[in-house]
Amino acid sequence: MAEAKLAPNLPQWMQEHAERYLSSGGKEGHIYTVSPPGYGELQVPSLLLTTTGRKSGEKYIFPLFYGTAGKGWFVVASKGGAPEHPGWYRNLLADPMAEVRVGTETAQVRARTATGAEREALWQQALTFWPPYADYAKKTTREIPVVVLDPV
């Protein structure tokens, strides 16, 4: 991920989290401790997803909460319940090949959007590690994508 850079316009807390994750080689930041309003303290697993910018062609790093799916991982394209999909998800739609750092390990992955029963099962799993996703879903009319990151 040496040629990749942090995605532009990340909120300050995400930028600080990603910088700590990167500078420690994944030894710090894999489990993120946060206290979202109304939920108390949560310890959430996080990974770094590197996508290729759909317009720029540059590599961008995004810190995201994740769950496991088979031999891979999954992430939720919530953008806090915004009406539009996050940029990293739109990047994956244009080029599904990406890289993840999960703790100290890295892997090449191919992204795909879960559908049907698989999506519902992963969504329910996501609510266990990040309950605010339920609040985000209420704020938007779009179906929030659940993205499976299959190792290649």
What sign results for the dihedral spanned by CA atoms 58, 62, 67, 68? positive
Give the pLDDT of residue 3.
87
Burial of 13 (0-12, 13-18, 19+ CB in 10 A): exposed
Whether residue 1 has pLDDT greater than 70? no
Task: Give the residue among 2, 83, 117, 81 at the shortest CA–CA distance from 48.
Answer: 2
What pLDDT does 61 receive? 97
Q: Is the pLDDT of residue 66 over 90?
A: yes
Q: Which of 62, 51, 132, 59 is nearest to 95 (CA)?
A: 51
User: How many angstroms from the chain centroid is the CA of residue 85?
Assistant: 12
Across the range 50-77, mean pLDDT stands at 96
DSSP letters, 126-147, are HHHH-THHHHHHHH-SSPPPEE
The C-alpha atoms of residue 78 and residue 84 are separated, in whole angstroms, by 9
The pLDDT of residue 60 is above 50:
yes
pLDDT for residue 25: 93
On the question of pLDDT at 79 being above 70, the answer is yes
Q: How confident is the model at residue 2 (pLDDT cuts 50, 70, 90)?
A: very low
Rounded (10°) angle between helices 132-139 and 116-129: 120
The rounded distance, in Å, linking the Cα atoms of 88 and 114 is 16
The model's pTM: 0.94
